[in-house]
Amino acid sequence: MLAILLFLPLGLAAAETGIDAWLRYAPIPDAESYHGSIPSIVVALNDSQISPVYTAGQELQQGINGIFGKDCTVQYEGGDGPSVTVGTVAGYAETGGSIDELPELVDDGFYMSTVGGEALILGQNERGALYGAFHYLELLAQGNVTELAFASNPDAPIRWVNQWDNLRDGGTHGSIERGYGGHSIFFWDGVVRDDLTRASQYARLLASIGINAVIVNNVNANETILNETNLDGVARIADAFRPYGVQLGLSLYFASPEALGGLDTFDPLNDTVVEWWNDKTNQIYEKIPDFAGYLVKANSEGQPGPITYNRTLADGANLFARALKPHGGIIMFRAFVYDHESLNQTLNWKADRANAAVEFFDGLDDQFEDNVVVQIKYGPIDFQVREPVSPLFTHLVKTPVTVELQITQEYLGQQCHLVYLPPMWKELLDFDLRVDSQPSPLSSILNGQRFNRKLGGYAGVVNVGLNETWLGSHLSMSNLYAYGKMAWDPTSSPEALLNTWTKLTFSHDQEVIDTIADMSMASWPAYENYTGNLGIQTLTDILNAHYGPNPASQDGNPWGQWTRADATTIGMDRTVWNGTGFSGQYPSEIAAQYESPTTTPDNLLLWFHHVPYTYRLRSGQTVIQHFYDAHYAGSATAQTFPTQWSRLQGKIDAERFEAQRFRLEYQAGHALVWRDSINNFYHNKSGIADQQGRVGNHAYRVEAEDMALDGYVPYAVSPVEAASGGYCIVTSDNSTRGAASVALERWESGRYDVAVNYYDLAIGNSTWELWIGEEMVGEWKGDLEYRIGKAPVFYIDGQTATRITFRGVEVTKGDVLKIVGVPDGQEPAPVDYISVLPEGVVD
Ligand code: GCU
């Protein structure tokens, strides 16, 4: 080891996997100069190993050691010399400490003082003490040793994480539904894993950002989670969480009394059903005394629920609420309720999935038990790149609510696209819903202040997996970090959070911080630009993996994510006067704003209105030209990401640098796939030309189907816009090697960036070679299914379309460019086109 270290060039960081995320406690610049001002004794006022205060002591020791290279001891009662004392307010008072002057703390809150060369960290409860310790370490890890004394209280009591983990692999989603970071850290083969190391590590990460509970299994729940073996297993997960103050909760399958209990009904008003749930709940609390509660998805997307028996959603929620109440647990009842089978757009212009939540919950506000919390997705449809805030937040006045956010990027690039989400969350949380014409920002509804409620808060669908990066990509972890921080304090600035995260995760180097900030802050607007604009939704393939462009998939099916695009018009008319009436679900001021296209913000125009492609936006541009321009602009921004990232080479460890470089290159290529697919689609539909003449005109491209083919044959791609020119080439069978060639007569001799657009399917690992004349420029494999974790796709379409670029390639006029494709498995080495681009040109 020593020998290896000696040979590391100065400044080159050691390889890192990402497993410690933002809790690396890496040595900071000039660490030794701080030694005098950092205490070397930690006093933890609880020596029980399951206590978060004990954990805080261990963490402080590890942190001070790592950050400053300073030895530090932990003791469990006061000692001599300057120390960091951590405990609860009550525990501190017991040791004789004075608490008279302390500011007011609420549950989970903490007080911290670093005045006079000592640190005092006091939690209102045990986990509050741990939160304080993490906060202190976060300051130290940034080299911040200023004297401070302050209290920090969470904005809302519910700061939960939902994991959509299945108990076993299989079905359409593998082990985590919409998870892109590998297998479940909790379950394997139908049961809880023996080794729960990752569960502890996860709890540590979550505690450091103030998360206080995790629902460990999928909302599309399986009844076997409640069998004896699994409850014992789940209790072991709770044991792993406990030292971090993270509570455990479970998603329930509504029909469990029948499916698991052998009853002949799951009617929520049936006595035997009530008794079954009471017994089950009591059994859970025997095993897990600090069990957090339940999460229930009912009567949605094929899930059973109370409506199956003509009972109300309140009847369903109260069933669990009553079982939990004696134990102090809560039930999170999801508002994501809609009946996809009854949606029929062709017949009914008024049908609208967006209306469903309010329609299902109206009239129930005063019928829920007081430990029911309704969990509402931020928008009325489903985690789209832009949605208005769900109006249901204004309909429930007595009933506490949480907002459901998605950290896993289901519709937002599945961690293969950099999309920093907090700027979107901030817009949503700050949005003033004007209930009764009074200030009503969403955050004030969540924290209970607006309607005077005690409960409420945040639920984030995270879906980390066994992959050591947790989410599948290093940069995606900024979303998780910021989620916890914003749930604690929704006034936090997304950019400030990001900068702190970068410092903790990567480096104190200003160029690293600024580069990651520039890229991340540009990423959501860019993604919106190259996917779906003006509130039309993400336009991803909603019938398959929710990845890649497929605008046609939105319409003509009962899933209700409609765009109603035809040859001349586009958008959902959600007005009261002429449309689905959705805009009328908002309080009057907001309803009036959304009712008219002239007062609806451009970025939601097509969410609320059905207009001609030639409709002029407030910007003065037409809808269709805005589409074209935005797709060019957004994808151009994505091209800058790999270039910006490349400046960080040598400034962060090679392992994480390279892993992210690969993803950003991939994103840059896929952004162009998006741009062309969407632009071609609406160009084909509307017949309206791009004023700038870009759409459909690609001066530096050669279609694969126009090249001289040997062993390759043309193949018509569906959807047609997912291939340049509508066709790609595939090998004539899955054992024949194909070659496609073209003489580069149109190009003068010089240096070019050569891009190849191909399709990487999850059913084989073809090999491609790119030759210019006698030189092999590059060789690559279609193995993205192992490399980037997005949902596997088996089709030649916008989800599998991929671009690889070789930069600075010497070309002599007339050289023959040749692609050789070797199929593998069922993947026929498909190629769409090649582009030979003068340096600096992107197309
Ligand atoms: C989305 C997602 C599903 C999920 C559902 C839900 O539709 O695609 O996988 O089950 O949301 O939130 O219940």
- 226-238 tens-digit pLDDT: 999 999 999 999 9
Mutate to test the pocket of ligand 1, among 176, 336, 537, 538 (most ligand atoms within 8 A of CB): 336
Closest CA to 482 of 511, 462, 512: 462
The C-alpha angle with vertex 228 and arms to 226 and 229, in degrees rounded to 5, equals 100
CA of residue 474 to ligand 1 center, whole Å: 24
Exposure class string for 512-551: b at 16+ Cβ within 10 A, else e: bbebbbebbbbbbbbbbbbbbbbbbbbbbbbebbbbbbbb
Residue with the larger pLDDT of the pair 301 and 431: 431
SS (H, E, C) 460-494: EECCCCCCCCCCCCCCCHHHHHHHHHHHHCCCCCH
How far apart are the C-alpha atoms of 69 and 55, rounded to whole Å?
20
Q: Do residues 23 and 204 touch, judged by C-beta distance below 8 A?
A: yes
Nearest ligand 1 atom to alpha carbon 178: 9
Q: Tally helices (H) and strands (E) across the chain.
A: 20, 29
CA of residue 745 to ligand 1 center, whole Å: 51
Q: Do residues 103 and 111 touch, judged by C-beta distance below 8 A?
A: yes
| Segment (H or E) for 396 | none
CA nearest ligand 1 atom 12, residue: 336
Q: Is the dihedral of CA 666, 667, 672, 675 positive or negative?
A: positive
Nearest ligand 1 atom to alpha carbon 219: 13
Q: Do residues 548 and 670 touch, judged by C-beta distance below 8 A?
A: yes
Q: Do residues 761 and 798 touch, judged by C-beta distance below 8 A?
A: no
CA of residue 407 to ligand 1 center, whole Å: 13
How far does Cα 188 stand from its chain's mean position?
23
Mutate to test the pocket of ligand 1, among 375, 378, 382 (most ligand atoms within 8 A of CB): 382
Confidence of residue 340 (pLDDT cuts 50, 70, 90): confident
Query: Tokens 């501190």 identify what position?
Result: 92
Confidence of residue 434 (pLDDT cuts 50, 70, 90): very high
* 507-572+610-695 under CATH 3.90.1330.10, yes or no: yes
Closest CA to 128 of 115, 112, 144, 148: 112
Catalytic amino acids? 301, 382, 410
Q: Do residues 419 and 294 touch, judged by C-beta distance below 8 A?
A: no
Tell me the one-letter amino acid at 173.
Answer: H
Closest CA to 781 of 821, 817, 754: 821
Residue 337 is encoded by which pair of tokens?
Answer: 């309720």
CA of residue 297 to ligand 1 center, whole Å: 10
Residue 450 burial (CB count, 10 A): 22
Confidence of residue 4 (pLDDT cuts 50, 70, 90): very low
Residues with Cβ within 8 Å of 648's Cβ and at least 6 positions away in sequence, in order, are 511, 512, 515, 657
The C-alpha angle with vertex 682 and arms to 679 and 683, in degrees rounded to 5, equals 75
Nearest ligand 1 atom to alpha carbon 218: 10
| Segment (H or E) for 160 | strand 158-162
Tell me how far CA of residue 370 lies from CA of 162, 314, 671, in angstroms: 22, 11, 47
Residue 677 is encoded by which pair of tokens?
Answer: 């697919």
The separation between the first and the last C-alpha atoms of the chain, rounded to the nearest angstrom, is 47
Mutate to test the pocket of ligand 1, among 219, 540, 559 (most ligand atoms within 8 A of CB): 219
How far does Cα 196 stand from its chain's mean position?
23
How far apart are the C-alpha atoms of 764 and 589, rounded to whole Å?
55
Q: Is 40 exposed, middle or buried (0-12, 13-18, 19+ CB in 10 A)?
A: middle
Tell me the one-letter amino acid at 155.
Answer: D
How far apart are the C-alpha atoms of 828 and 704, rounded to whole Å?
14
CATH topology of domain 31-152: Chitobiase; domain 2 (3.30.379)
3-state helix, strand, coil in the chain (%, to 5): 35, 20, 45
Q: Is the dihedral of CA 739, 743, 749, 750 positive or negative?
A: negative
pLDDT of 345 > 50? The answer is yes
Closest CA to 659 of 645, 647, 673: 645
pLDDT tens track for 154-190: 999 999 999 999 999 876 677 999 999 999 999 999 9
Q: Compute the residue count for the chain.
A: 843
Nearest ligand 1 atom to alpha carbon 177: 9
Per-residue confidence (pLDDT) for residue 681, from 0 to 100: 98
Residue 284 is encoded by which pair of tokens?
Answer: 């859970």
Does residue 719 have a cis peptide bond before it, meaning omega lies within 30 degrees of 0? yes
pLDDT of 5 > 60? The answer is no
In DSSP terms, 74 is beta-bridged to 42
Q: Do residues 691 and 683 touch, judged by C-beta distance below 8 A?
A: no
How far does Cα 443 stand from its chain's mean position?
20
Per-residue confidence (pLDDT) for residue 346, from 0 to 100: 61
CA nearest ligand 1 atom 7, residue: 382
Closest CA to 625 of 531, 534, 699, 688: 688
Tell me how far CA of residue 298 lies from CA of 252, 334, 336, 379, 548, in angstroms: 9, 7, 8, 18, 29
Residue 123 is encoded by which pair of tokens?
Answer: 């939690």
In DSSP terms, 288 is beta-bridged to none
The string of DSSP letters for 203-272 reads: HHHHHHTT--EEE-S-SS--GGGGSHHHHHHHHHHHHHHGGGT-EEEEEE-TTHHHHTT--S---TT-HH
CA of residue 37 to ligand 1 center, whole Å: 51
CA of residue 461 to ligand 1 center, whole Å: 10
Residue with the larger pLDDT of the pair 736 and 7: 736
Residue 795 is encoded by which pair of tokens?
Answer: 């089709």
Per-residue confidence (pLDDT) for residue 78, from 0 to 100: 81
**Domain limits, the chain:** 31-152, 158-493, 507-572+610-695, 701-838
* Mean of pLDDT over the chain: 96
* Strands 401-406, 457-461: pairing kind: parallel
Confidence of residue 531 (pLDDT cuts 50, 70, 90): very high
Nearest ligand 1 atom to alpha carbon 173: 9
How far apart are the C-alpha atoms of 216 and 247, rounded to whole Å?
10
Mutate to test the pocket of ligand 1, among 162, 172, 300, 410 (most ligand atoms within 8 A of CB): 410
CA of residue 341 to ligand 1 center, whole Å: 16
CA nearest ligand 1 atom 1, residue: 382
How far apart are the C-alpha atoms of 389 and 433, rounded to whole Å?
8
The CATH homologous superfamily of the domain defined by 701-838: Galactose-binding domain-like (2.60.120.260)
CA of residue 303 to ligand 1 center, whole Å: 11
Residue 415 is encoded by which pair of tokens?
Answer: 């961690």
Query: Tokens 């989800």 identify what position?
Result: 799
Per-residue confidence (pLDDT) for residue 632, from 0 to 100: 98
Beta strands in 760-830 (DSSP E): 767-772, 775-781, 801-811, 816-822
CA of residue 443 to ligand 1 center, whole Å: 24
Nearest ligand 1 atom to alpha carbon 220: 10
Q: Do residues 105 and 32 touch, judged by C-beta distance below 8 A?
A: no
| Segment (H or E) for 63 | helix 52-68
Per-residue confidence (pLDDT) for residue 2, from 0 to 100: 40
Exposure class string for 177-196: b at 16+ Cβ within 10 A, else e: bbbbbbbbbbbbebbbbeeb
Torsion angle, CA of 492/493/497/502, rounded to 10 degrees? 180
Residues with Cβ within 8 Å of 169's Cβ and at least 6 positions away in sequence, in order, are 175, 183, 189
Per-residue confidence (pLDDT) for residue 169, from 0 to 100: 86
What residue ranges line ligand 1, CB within 6 angstroms?
177-178, 219-220, 297, 336, 382, 410
Say what angle helices 271-287 and 228-241 make with each other, to 10 degrees.
40
pLDDT of 6 > 80? The answer is no
pLDDT of 10 > 60? The answer is no
pLDDT of 797 > 60? The answer is yes
CA of residue 361 to ligand 1 center, whole Å: 19
Confidence of residue 688 (pLDDT cuts 50, 70, 90): very high
Span of 300-304, 473-477, 634-638 with lowest mean pLDDT: 300-304
SS (H, E, C) 735-768: CCCEEEEEECCCCCCEEEEEEEEEECCCCCCCEE
pLDDT of 627 > 80? The answer is yes
CA of residue 458 to ligand 1 center, whole Å: 17
The C-alpha angle with vertex 570 and arms to 566 and 574, in degrees rounded to 5, equals 125
Region 428-433: mean pLDDT is: 98
CA of residue 683 to ligand 1 center, whole Å: 31
Phi, psi of 398, deg, nearest 5: -85, -35
Residues with Cβ within 8 Å of 419's Cβ and at least 6 positions away in sequence, in order, are 409, 412, 413, 523, 524, 527
Region 329-346: mean pLDDT is: 85
The C-alpha angle with vertex 259 and arms to 257 and 261, in degrees rounded to 5, equals 45
Residue 478 is encoded by which pair of tokens?
Answer: 């900024």
Confidence of residue 81 (pLDDT cuts 50, 70, 90): confident
How far apart are the C-alpha atoms of 754 and 807, rounded to whole Å?
6
Per-residue confidence (pLDDT) for residue 172, from 0 to 100: 67
Tell me the one-letter amino acid at 108.
Answer: D
Confidence of residue 347 (pLDDT cuts 50, 70, 90): low
Per-residue confidence (pLDDT) for residue 120, from 0 to 100: 97
How far apart are the C-alpha atoms of 151 and 113, rounded to whole Å?
9
Say what angle helices 510-530 and 623-646 make with each other, to 10 degrees.
150
Residue 730 is encoded by which pair of tokens?
Answer: 């595939």
Residue 296 is encoded by which pair of tokens?
Answer: 């229930």
Per-residue confidence (pLDDT) for residue 564, from 0 to 100: 95
CA nearest ligand 1 atom 11, residue: 382
Region 508-536: mean pLDDT is: 98
pLDDT tens track for 92-134: 999 999 999 999 999 999 999 999 889 999 999 999 999 999 9
The CATH homologous superfamily of the domain defined by 158-493: Glycosidases (3.20.20.80)
How far apart are the C-alpha atoms of 734 and 728, rounded to whole Å?
16
pLDDT tens track for 280-311: 999 999 999 999 999 999 999 999 999 999 99
